[in-house]
Chain A
Amino acid sequence: MKEETNASASDASDPVHIRLQQIHKSYGSAHILKGCSFDIQRGKTNVIIGPSGSGKSVLMRQIIRLEKPDSGKIVVDGVDFAGLKGMELERVRRKMGMVFQSSALFDSMSVYENVAFPLREHTKMSRKEIEERVMDRLETLGIGGSRHKSPAELSGGMQRRVAVARSIVLETDIVIYDEPTTGLDPITVQTVDDLILETEATFGVTSIVISHDMASVFRIADQITFLYFGEVFASAHPADLLQALDGPTMEFVQASGVSQELLERRTK
């Protein structure tokens, strides 16, 4: 236990939050992830892009351990997450929050109950403490007035806010966003982008964003990892990536319809 504490203390200063090493994943004869290796930077917005079918969502499912990789390591704060089971797996998983593309809010619960759910499950906080924490998160994200509403009564952007509030209510270190801007109008896309940046700035979390919305990606990313049919083709700062566009990355940027000049202007 003492060793763990020391490890965590030293890991907090490590700029690498998650290190993926040679991740392989197959479904039957389909080899989807072919040895993915890259680092997730602590306290930064790490975006994973790539064409449809390149394995982004599969990679996301391995990172949060919805599925176990066939081989490889996912080292979170010095612990190989890929090899964990049972309570150890759950303990590390509590460091992560996930915002699904569909928001995945519980229909049977109100906004307040959705956000309070992880606290009720994993802490011994009193009802008053839970209310204070939940309302703090809801107010910070600008949805305090919607606490009694059901998810179905909210717009897509508001649902994402509730999902973010739920993912960080346990004082999570890492938030994973699965295609957070898909299906939203341009103004809501910008709102969601701002939300990701605000969440990172306010709560100091590491963000992992799966996306193929190039305009949005270059606005929020500190690091872009380009996944190309199961392999990591490039992983760099957006400005560096734009300077060295070639092959699939060039094709991907051109096909997005957003000019390279605009992307350069949008880069953080």
Chain B
Amino acid sequence: MTAAAPAVEKEAEAPKAPEGPGFFERFAAALLAPAAELGVLWQMLTQTAFWAVRPPYRGRVLMASMEFIGVGSIFIVGLTGLFMGAVLGLQLADGFRQFSAETQTGAVVGLAMSREIGPVFTALMVSSRAGSAITTELGSMRVSDQINALVTMAVNPIQYLVVPRVIAGVLMVPVLCLLFNIVGVFGAYFVCTQLLGIDPGIFLGRMRWLVDWPDVFQGLVKATIFGATVTLIACRQGFYASGGAAGVGQATNRCVVHNAIAILALDYVITAVLLGQGL
């Protein structure tokens, strides 16, 4: 009883509510938040690179991640690729027709698909499907102490949880991008040749004339970088999630938003670097 008394007195002596941060503190925090986030991502990237080359190498875990990110995304990537190609073909053919250049539709569809739309949309789809699931899974593991359990069993959680997912993203997103391109071109080909009456030979001929291997390569470089980015951001959000179920939900939300911003911002930077202009 005697021990409780000082605590009660303390409470009575301190009735003032703590003051929240002022306007400038909040403004400064908002300005610094992106820099802090980039710092955390950089730290996770370096740790991932460090643990990726150290044994043990867990082939089964990597295969499971590749199956989840790659094989599991085939349907959604293929479907969106088909409709993306179809609507791109429709819009371009309609636009080009206004100055009698609809024969160029195949060339522009091929170029846009291989350089831009393929990697960007593939990454966005992988982020929505696999990225959000990764964040939710790791976030749930964090709030239910499963990640701490790994640490207590002397298993490095970055090596066990993050490394296979990031490697799987790097390997599988370019493959999915190729699938997106092929299905997208098929969608555009079908709409343009079967519904809009463009000659199939001209459609494919113009595409072969304009689109070259470096264009496809440019798209694959982007897809590889996006694959690493999407999985890294997803792992970062899940790995450091806190605040129970609500915290995991917020982390998943941040994963999708941050990924969309990162993909589009990186897309410009990579394009400018590869084209050697625009920076």
Contact = CB atoms under 8 A, between A and B. Distances in A.
Contacts, number: 53
Interface string A102-120: 1011111000000001100
Interface in B123-149: 137, 140-141, 144-146, 148-149
B153 A118 contact: yes
A94 interface: yes
Given A90-B154, A102-B144, A121-B155, A247 B3 contact: yes
Given A90-B154, A121-B153, A121-B155, A251 B144 contact: no
A98 interface: yes
A100 interface: yes
Contacts of A106: 141, 146, 149
Interface string B2-15: 11100000000000
A262 interface: no
A93 B146 contact: no
Contacts of B2: 247
Interface in A120-154: 121-122
A66 B56 contact: no
B3 A248 contact: yes
Contacts of B17: none
B66 to A, nearest CB: 16
Given A102-B145, A104-B148, A107-B140, A251 B154 contact: no
B152 A97 contact: yes
A93 B152 contact: yes
A165 B155 CA distance: 17
B148 A66 contact: yes
B3 A100 contact: no
A66 B3 contact: no
A93 B145 contact: no
Nearest to B154: A90
Given A104-B145, A104-B146, A106-B146, A251 B152 contact: no
A251 B5 CA distance: 12
B152 A121 contact: no
Interface in A48-64: 64
Contacts of B152: 64, 66, 93, 96-98
A203 to B, nearest CB: 17
Contacts of B137: 108
A128 B4 CA distance: 58
Nearest to B137: A108
Contacts of A121: 56, 153-155
Contacts of A97: 152-153
A120 to B, nearest CB: 9
Pairs A-B, 6 closest by C-beta atoms: A104-B145, A104-B149, A90-B154, A98-B152, A100-B145, A248-B3
19 contacts: A93-B152, A94-B153, A94-B154, A97-B153, A98-B148, A98-B149, A98-B152, A100-B149, A101-B145, A104-B144, A106-B149, A107-B144, A108-B137, A118-B153, A121-B154, A122-B153, A122-B154, A251-B3, A251-B4
Interface of B: 1-4, 56, 137, 140-141, 144-146, 148-149, 151-155
